[in-house]
Amino acid sequence: MRLEGKVAIVTGAGAGIGQGIAELFAREGAKVVVAELDEKGGKAVAAGISAAGGTALFHRTDVSKESEVQAMVEAAARKFGAINILVNNAAAFVFGKVEDVKDSDWQRVFGVNVIGSSYCVRAALPHLRKAGGGSIVNIASVSSFIAQPAFIPYNASKGAVLQLTRCLAMDLAPDRIRVNAICPGAIKTSATDRHIDYMGWDREKSYREFGQSALLKRMGTPREIAYGALFLASDEASFVTGAHLVIDGGATID
């Protein structure tokens, strides 16, 4: 019950890492807002949390639209009376070489990954301040600080997420709001599968190859990222802000 009495918003919580975080937070005592664009997936996660004895509210949210973010945050505050934790996990996965990336691709990847996160922070900020402080956890990536072939739009956006985290940590420290990031490596999720399919690769072969890049010789799981988010969201990380936690099985150790 490390989050007992806390209210947490998790964006992109309808699958993958976001689902893992939402479910773990609920098991640890938090009331969870499942903010998700995919209505079917979001409702299923919220229903699963409730069936397991937790408390969850689903709210359909496109984080790239400020009006929808504001409506989601206000619904959360009305339902649960406070907001203590925000996890910016919603992401657009846009890849390619610079000559192949369209203007609409740039707008989408930054609109969700960077601007969408800023919308969520701005909307939640009055409630976090009213609560006397809180925790914001941004899901960045090892792609925030390494180069990868034909990953330009995605990596550029995730690099921006890391810098957004540092600057927010500095600006919000007087409000006792901690801001940190998690940088996952290769994690087995539906988003990973979509990327593999998009590239025309074999899934099982790709899993093995992705795992070989890590010292631990395997891909990670959403639950392993969720435990990192749990630490940063909890009072156990009360002296941690402006940091990024790399969870990649040792893939980027050198």
Q: How far apart are the first and last CA of the chain?
A: 36
pLDDT at 200: 84
Are 126 and 82 contacting, i.e. CB atoms less than 8 angstroms apart? Answer: no
- Tell me the residue type at 55: T
pLDDT at 13: 98
Q: Over the stretch 153-202, which tens digit does the pLDDT of each residue have? A: 999 999 999 999 999 999 999 999 999 999 999 999 888 887 788 778 88
pLDDT at 195: 76
Are 165 and 244 contacting, i.e. CB atoms less than 8 angstroms apart? Answer: yes
Domain 7-185+222-244 has CATH 1.10.8.50: no
Are 184 and 175 contacting, i.e. CB atoms less than 8 angstroms apart? Answer: no
Q: Is the pLDDT of residue 2 over 80?
A: yes
Q: Which residues are CB-neighbours of 131 under 8 A, at least 6 positions away?
A: 82, 83, 84
pLDDT at 210: 86
Catalytic option among 154, 198, 207, 227: 154
pLDDT at 199: 75
| Active site (annotated) includes residue 154 | yes
| Closest to 207 in 3D by CA, of 188, 233, 223, 182 | 188
Q: What's the rounded Cα separation, in Å, for the pair 250 and 186?
A: 11
With 0-12 / 13-18 / 19 or more C-beta atoms within 10 angstroms meaning exposed / middle / buried, residue 145 is middle
pLDDT at 118: 98
Q: Over the stretch 108-150, which tens digit does the pLDDT of each residue have? A: 999 999 999 999 999 999 999 999 999 999 999 999 999 999 9
- Residue ranges per domain, the chain? 7-185+222-244, 186-219
Are 63 and 69 contacting, i.e. CB atoms less than 8 angstroms apart? Answer: yes
pLDDT at 194: 78
Q: Over the stretch 69-93, which tens digit does the pLDDT of each residue have? A: 999 999 999 999 999 999 999 999 9
Q: Over the stretch 21-57, which tens digit does the pLDDT of each residue have? A: 999 999 999 999 999 999 999 999 999 999 999 999 9
pLDDT at 209: 87
